[in-house]
């Protein structure tokens, strides 16, 4: 079923309804007995283990890298896409490789910039029913597929020496909050987190201060876990300044 929404003109725009989306999601599930569910869960452990082992073995060889996150939906003509290419190229010039989520949009821009700069270009792809596919700028041998978001997030944190966070949606926020939580709770050491685009991030950052901090849910020093910049030069300069002072290490 589709619903028709009339625009101000004479054309009609057809959109997929929530019902259609729900039907597509529900069709991917089959009713299982409790015993079948428990058995499947037990065997799933081996699949999870295999993703961890493969990720550790392949990524342990890449050397120091910076992860670049951002929306898969941004076009090549977008200002932030162009900036991400520039940032990634400059990252390689200071001796780091680039890790992205392997897909289109900002991820593609990051891998493109790394390729342009002659640095390592790694893509950690997640299998999704829509939107995600490998971009063509990932180095051969460094394109990896993951079924599980949580395994993929471990790889990002373990093998990245810094996060460049471009404008993005829920996935981008997920990676950002994961990193800040692990640093805040001392589960990993401090590493640089750079938010690019003050106009984009200001609403969230104001909420951090006006709501989280005001209500005592974070501490004042937690606001120092990230740096906000508006240029490629400043983003890379923050990463460089940090490692001019501190040693590069794997995070855990």
Q: Quick check: is 132 in a domain?
A: yes
Which parts of the chain fold into alpha helices (H)?
A: 18-26, 34-59, 79-93, 106-117, 149-159, 170-184, 198-207, 232-245
| Token reading at 214 | 């005001």
209-235: per-residue pLDDT in tens?
999 999 999 999 999 999 999 999 999
Is the separation of the CB atoms in 65 and 96 below 8 Å? yes
Look at residue 119 and tell me if it is in a domain: yes
142 domain residue, yes or no: yes
Domain that holds residue 59: 47-245
- The pair of structure tokens assigned to 244 is 């001019």
**String of b and e for 137-149 (b: at least 16 CB within 10 Å)?**
bbbeebbbebeee
Identify whether 34 is part of a domain.
no
* 134-152: average pLDDT: 93
pLDDT per residue over 24-47, tens digit each? 656 555 566 656 666 677 888 999
The pLDDT value recorded for residue 127 is: 81
Q: Tell me how far the alpha carbon of residue 16 is from its chain's centroid.
A: 27
Of 151, 176, 178, 174, residue with least CA distance to 163: 176
Distance of alpha carbon 200 from the chain centroid: 16
pTM across the whole model: 0.83
Name which of 122, 125, 160 is nearest 139 in CA terms: 122
In this structure, the number of other CB atoms found within 10 A of the CB of residue 4 comes to 8
- Residue with the bigger pLDDT between 3 and 193: it is 193
Counting the structural domains of the chain, the total is 1
For the chain, the average pLDDT equals: 88
How many Cβ atoms sit within 10 Å of the Cβ of residue 242? 17
Task: Quote the pLDDT of residue 3.
Answer: 39
Residue 36 covered by a domain: no
Kind of pairing, strands 65-69 and 163-165? parallel
Q: CATH number, domain at 159?
A: 3.40.50.450
Comparing CA positions, the residue from 74, 63, 64 lying closest to residue 196 is 74
Query: Would 167 be classed as within a structural domain?
Result: yes
- pLDDT range class, residue 13, cuts 50, 70, 90: very low
What DSSP state is assigned to residue 227? E
Confirm whether 191 is domain-assigned. yes
Tell me whether residue 238 is in a domain. Answer: yes
pLDDT tens digits for range 127-137 = 876 656 789 99
Which class for 21: exposed (0-12), middle (13-18), buried (19 or more C-beta within 10 A)? Answer: exposed
CA of residue 246 relative to chain centroid, distance:
24
């Amino acid at each position: 079923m589709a619903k028709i929404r009339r625009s101000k003109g004479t054309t009609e725009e057809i959109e997929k309804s929530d019902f259609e989306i729900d039907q597509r999601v529900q069709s991917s599930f089959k009713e299982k007995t409790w015993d079948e569910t428990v058995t499947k869960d037990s065997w799933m452990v081996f699949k999870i283990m295999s993703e961890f082992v493969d990720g550790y073995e392949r990524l342990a060889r890449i050397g120091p890298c910076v992860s670049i996150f951002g929306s898969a939906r941004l076009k090549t003509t977008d200002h932030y896409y162009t900036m991400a290419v520039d940032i990634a190229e400059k990252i390689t010039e200071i001796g780091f490789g680039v890790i992205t989520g392997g897909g289109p949009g900002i991820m593609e821009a990051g891998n493109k910039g790394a390729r342009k700069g002659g640095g390592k270009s790694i893509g950690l792809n997640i299998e999704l029913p829509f939107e995600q596919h490998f971009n063509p700028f990932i180095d051969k041998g460094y394109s990896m597929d993951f079924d599980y978001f949580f395994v993929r997030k471990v790889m990002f944190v373990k093998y990245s020496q810094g996060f460049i966070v471009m404008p993005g949606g829920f996935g981008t926020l997920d990676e950002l909050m994961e990193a800040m939580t692990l640093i805040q709770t001392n589960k990993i050491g401090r590493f640089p987190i750079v938010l690019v685009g003050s106009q984009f991030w200001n609403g969230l950052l104001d909420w951090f201060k006006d709501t989280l901090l005001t209500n005592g849910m974070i501490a004042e020093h937690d606001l120092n876990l990230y740096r906000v910049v508006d240029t490629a030069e400043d983003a890379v300069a923050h990463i460089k300044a940090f490692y001019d002072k501190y040693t590069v290490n794997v995070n855990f």
